[in-house]
Amino acid sequence: MDLNYIKDKGRTLHFPALDPRKIKLQSQEEFNKNAKQDYFGASPNIFIGRFGYPKINVGILNTEQYNNNDAPLTWSKENYQIPQIINLRTQLINAQFKVEIKSFKNKFLELSQEISLSQKPVDIEINLSKKPSFNTTLHQDEMPHGCNTKLKKAIATENITVPRKVDQLVSDTDAKARAAVEELYKAGFDEHYLTKILSVGNLGIKTERKLVPTRWSIAATDDIIGKSIITQIKDYSTIDCHKAYFDGYLGNYYLILLFPDVWQYELFESIITEQTAFATDYENYYGRKQYATETAGGYYAARLAILEKLKQEKKQATVLALRFVDPNEYVAPLGVWVVREATRKAIAAKPIEFADKQLMLDYTLQFIKKKFNYDCSLQLKQSILLDTIKKQKKLFEF
């Protein structure tokens, strides 16, 4: 994936902004009363902005009392809801400093790189330029966080433990970043951890290492891992029947249709209240050469979740994924992790099996109409994937 290609692109659908009437946030007065300029806290992650690229803001996310403030896999597993997640994230102060993307001789950046390598929050001493005040920063593709404040001083107050495999690849300045991410994923490290390692310039050939804005590193990590799995599943046989999976999380619902054919993938994203508006991207057996401009990071996140399932079952399939966002439930953007986890919940559900393609498509129209009072016939009519299936000839037809 070309990260320079990503930076000027955006999605066509705009999902909900925070509606304070639907979420009871923690007390602004209480936060401001208890806020400190100097304190001992914990840092679970680093946030790297993209505005002003190549001179960008790097933030050490931190809080006085860590309580799963940066744990999307735990949130999904334990079914955390939006108000709880928003309140946890607003407790994270984004202590910022500005650097060039290849300027690694900076004491704050060196600390940031060390923090990113830890699998648990790092105890730190923080000194801010001023006392923080309550605020919430929301982005479509990134997790929200609390106020942005200029960093004056930061010191780790514990020895940071780095997994041996990670340390080896960080020290290997001849290994490409893509190969390092693939190897670490195969070794059992999850995409959330790998994203923060990649974003702070810890991986790759020495002369090519640079900071990667968080938004881009999320998409890049999902894309790298996804392409690695695609290479593997192409050696597997296709599924033996048509299958439909459905479930969701936090107002993001996925109906995932699997066809007994070689790997192809198409994603449609729709907001339930907008019958004719949707975003879509597609890839054939040979993949994409350009970034998925319409569905953006959600394309790669949903694809990864589906590929993990196919790899687990040692099968390949043609995949049509339909995302439906209910704005009455998804009342604030929480980041691409929601897409990944909602898709994982959907593909983990018990599938409905069909004897042929038409039965599954008829079911799709009826199910979505009944579930959401939404007509998705336009998406099916404009599907490149369905048109390809219809037109392509099988070996026995020649």
* Residue showing tokens 């950046």: 109
Domain boundary among 214, 232, 250: 232
Instruction: Give yes or no: residues 263 and 217 share one domain.
Output: no
pLDDT tens per residue, range 284-333: 999 999 999 999 999 999 999 999 999 999 999 999 999 999 999 998 88
Number of domains into which the chain is organized:
2
What is the domain extent for residue 175?
164-232
Residue 43 placed within a domain: no
pLDDT at 194 over 80: yes
Residue 53 placed within a domain: no
Instruction: Give yes or no: residues 212 and 245 share one domain.
Output: no
Q: N- to C-terminal Cα distance for the chain?
A: 37
Residues paired with 162 in a beta bridge: none
Instruction: Give yes or no: residues 390 and 259 share one domain.
Output: yes
Instruction: Give yes or no: residues 344 and 285 share one domain.
Output: yes
Residue 390 placed within a domain: yes
Residue 298 placed within a domain: yes
Mean pLDDT of the chain: 91
pLDDT at 359 over 50: yes
Instruction: Give yes or no: residues 185 and 329 share one domain.
Output: no
Instruction: Give yes or no: residues 272 and 338 share one domain.
Output: yes
Q: What stretches of the chain show up as alpha helix (H) in DSSP?
A: 3-6, 28-34, 72-77, 82-90, 107-117, 164-171, 177-186, 191-199, 214-233, 297-313, 336-348, 357-372, 377-381, 384-391
Residue 38 placed within a domain: no
* Residue showing tokens 């102060």: 93
Around Cβ 80, how many Cβ atoms within 10 Å?
17
pLDDT at 46 over 70: yes
* DSSP designation for 208: G
pLDDT tens per residue, range 66-99: 999 999 999 999 999 999 999 999 999 999 999 9
pTM score of the predicted model: 0.93
pLDDT at 11: 53
pLDDT tens per residue, range 16-39: 665 655 666 666 777 777 889 999
Domain boundary among 192, 217, 232: 232
Instruction: Give yes or no: residues 310 and 365 share one domain.
Output: yes
Domain boundary among 232, 259, 280: 232
Residue 119 placed within a domain: no
Instruction: Give yes or no: residues 327 and 340 share one domain.
Output: yes
Instruction: Give yes or no: residues 181 and 223 share one domain.
Output: yes
Instruction: Give yes or no: residues 212 and 358 share one domain.
Output: no
- Of all residues in the chain, the percent with pLDDT exceeding 70 is 91
Please give the torsion angle defined by the CA atoms of residues 90, 218, 67 and 153, in that order, rounded to the nearest 10 degrees. Answer: -70
Residue 99 placed within a domain: no
Query: What's the burial of 106, exposed, middle or buried (CB within 10 Å: 0-12/13-18/19+)?
Result: middle
